[in-house]
Amino acid sequence: MYQARFTSDAVEDIRGLPKNIKNILRKEIAGKVCRDPLGCSYELEEPLRGWRSFRYRNYRVIFQAFTPQKTVVIAAVGERQPQARSDVYRKLEALAEQGRLADRILAALRGF
């Protein structure tokens, strides 16, 4: 079983979700992502290679699995909206381009 850690951005993303979706995603993350992160998700392509996406309906949980540490770091959670700038993938790409993503992952791994 993997332990889930959340970046500060992912925490903000979750706070903005409807309550019923928060509860469902919490159960899905604990029941699927933390049990078998590679089996329940798919690997993303460039520019997000190395990241994985777990789908629940139209919502996405974007994370990296650190197998030796048995930890998944969740960096973004949100609704997939192909035409919107707020799309979960676009937000993560912007963080990566700004060089802020690695810092956030380290903070999550350290437990803030």
What pLDDT was estimated at residue 86? 56
pLDDT of residue 83: 65
47 Cα distance to chain centroid: 15
Distances (CA, A) of 75 to 12, 32, 108, 111: 10, 17, 9, 13
pLDDT tens, 65-99?
998 889 999 999 988 776 645 577 777 787 777 66
Structure confidence at residue 112 (pLDDT)? 43
**How confident is the model over 5-59, as pLDDT tens digits?**
999 889 999 999 999 999 999 999 999 999 999 999 999 888 888 899 999 998 9
CATH of the domain at 82: 3.30.2310.20
Q: How many domains does the chain have?
A: 1
State the chain's mean pLDDT as an integer: 86
Structural domain boundaries enclosing 42: 3-110
Cα separation of 21 and 46, whole Å? 28
Burial bucket for residue 29 (CB in 10 Å: 0-12, 13-18, 19+): buried
For the whole model, what pTM was predicted?
0.82
Share of the chain above pLDDT 90, in %: 54
